[in-house]
Amino acid sequence: MFLENSHNKKLLNILILKHLLVITCLLFVSSPLIAQKTGVFYLKKVNGKYGWFKSGDEKKHWKYEGEIKKGRPNGIGVLSRRSVKYSGEVKNGIAHGIGTYTFKSGKKRVGEFRRGKPWNAKFYDRNGKIEAEYVNGKKLKTKATAAKKGNERKEKKSYQKLSPPLEIGIRVLLGNSSGDSTTSNSSLTFLLENFGLGINQMIFKRTSKKNNVYDMTNSSVDLSYTLDLSYIFDWSATAGFGYVYDGKGSIASGSTAITYESESVSGYGLFGLFGIEWEGLGGLIGLRYYSVDYADFKSTTTSDKLGIAYSIGSADLILGIEYSF
């Protein structure tokens, strides 16, 4: 009798241990410690390199919502940008595995993708009709028309790779100062990624105590580079250089009423900007320093030459806006 009770107790203990083990496993599996992390990231170019960041503009950058591993998009998630969205398996921010591309036009790409490219997938038009099919990475021959092939080429970049198109934009800057002399600057710059190329126009006017009137203008080519600081805070920093390539100078003597003019102009400008972006529109503030020399002044009425050069150098506060397309 004693042996039978002892045997039953052992069986009961074994059953209890099995149940505890099952419960422990279930609790461990559902524990937040091993639960898959999720998050939102944006693919954008910072300091000349593309990467995934927690801040961005979904109107310009690829946006990812889903599982995260090793600080990057990995697992099940959604990639979206403008007119295309991918839902499915993702590896290192690229469509890799089973998923679906959905286009704003109504077309779809469904199946298996490897490194963003179709592997075993079917392409459907907006009416659900198969347009193309890939098997083991090779496109099967179909009776697709040349027009359809042309459309496929146009959309190819949208779903195959997550390389954003080049970012372009424009920047407008205005600056002025007043006092014994007045200066004004205005510039228009075209932006491509982090680089800018533009034209700056400067006007300088001054009247001396002897009533000599100085009226100078010049034009310069501006080159600039913008450093995105969004990985630190929501600002950008821009540095630029301007080369004076054209201009005119005029000095009207208050005592002799003779006006001297010059088209011999040389000089440069340096400028720095800080900017913050909101909804694709950026606000800018900064300083522009310039150093310009005017030489070979000649009288407009006689053959007289002034014989001296006139130099201007100062720094102006500049304000502006920029817009990225």
Each residue's pLDDT tens digit, 219-254: 999 999 998 775 555 678 999 999 999 999 999 998
User: Given a cut of 50, is residue 321 above it in pLDDT?
Assistant: yes
CB 286 within 8 A of CB 238: yes
Greater confidence (33 vs 226) lies with: 226
pLDDT tens digits, one per residue of 83-140:
889 999 998 888 999 999 998 888 899 999 998 889 999 999 888 899 889 999 888 8
Q: Count other Cβ atoms within 10 Å, centred on residue 134.
A: 19
CB 222 within 8 A of CB 252: no
Sequence letter at residue 43? L
Residue with tokens 């295309």: 84
Residue-level pLDDT at 111: 94
Q: How far apart are CA 281 and CA 304, in angstroms?
A: 53
Residue-level pLDDT at 88: 94
Percent of the chain residues past pLDDT 90, beyond the cut: 46
Q: How far apart are CA 131 and CA 145, in angstroms?
A: 10
What is residue 212's three-state secondary structure? coil
- How many helices and strands (H and E) does the chain possess? 2, 20
Average pLDDT in the 45-51 region?
A: 78
CATH among 2.40.160.20, 1.10.10.10, 1.25.40.850, 1.10.20.60 for 168-324: 2.40.160.20
The CATH number of the domain covering residues in 37-160:
2.20.110
Q: How is the chain split into domains, by residue range?
A: 37-160, 168-324
CB 301 within 8 A of CB 271: no
CB 123 within 8 A of CB 101: no
- How many Cα atoms occupy the beta-carbon half-sphere of 257 within 13 Å? 0
Q: How far apart are CA 235 and CA 10, in angstroms?
A: 70
Q: How far apart are CA 125 and CA 122, in angstroms?
A: 10
Average pLDDT in the 247-262 region?
A: 92
Residue-level pLDDT at 161: 47
- Return the DSSP state at 49: E
Q: How far apart are CA 172 and CA 188, in angstroms?
A: 5
Residue with tokens 């992390």: 37
- Return the DSSP state at 5: H
Residue-level pLDDT at 49: 76
CB 81 within 8 A of CB 87: no
Greater confidence (256 vs 235) lies with: 256
Q: Which of 13-17, 252-256, 275-279 has the lowest mean pLDDT?
A: 13-17
Greater confidence (49 vs 94) lies with: 94
Q: What separation, in Å, do the N-terminal and C-terminal C-alpha atoms of the chain show?
A: 89
Q: How far apart are CA 41 and CA 38, in angstroms?
A: 10
pTM: 0.54
Helices marked H in the chain — which ranges? 2-29, 146-160
In degrees and rounded to multiples of 5, residue 71 shows phi and psi of 75, 15
Q: How far apart are CA 280 and CA 167, in angstroms?
A: 11
Sheet holding 72-81, edge to edge: 49-53, 37-46, 62-69, 72-81, 84-91, 94-103, 108-114, 117-124, 130-135, 138-139
Q: Which residues contact 145 (CB under 8 A, 6 or more apart)?
A: none
Q: How far apart are CA 26 and CA 23, in angstroms?
A: 5
The pLDDT-based confidence of 262 (bands split at 50, 70, 90) is very high
pLDDT averaged over every residue in the chain: 82
Residue-level pLDDT at 151: 53
Residue-level pLDDT at 27: 44
Residue-level pLDDT at 225: 96
- 214 class by beta-carbon count within 10 Å (0-12 exposed, 13-18 middle, 19+ buried): middle
CB 188 within 8 A of CB 171: yes
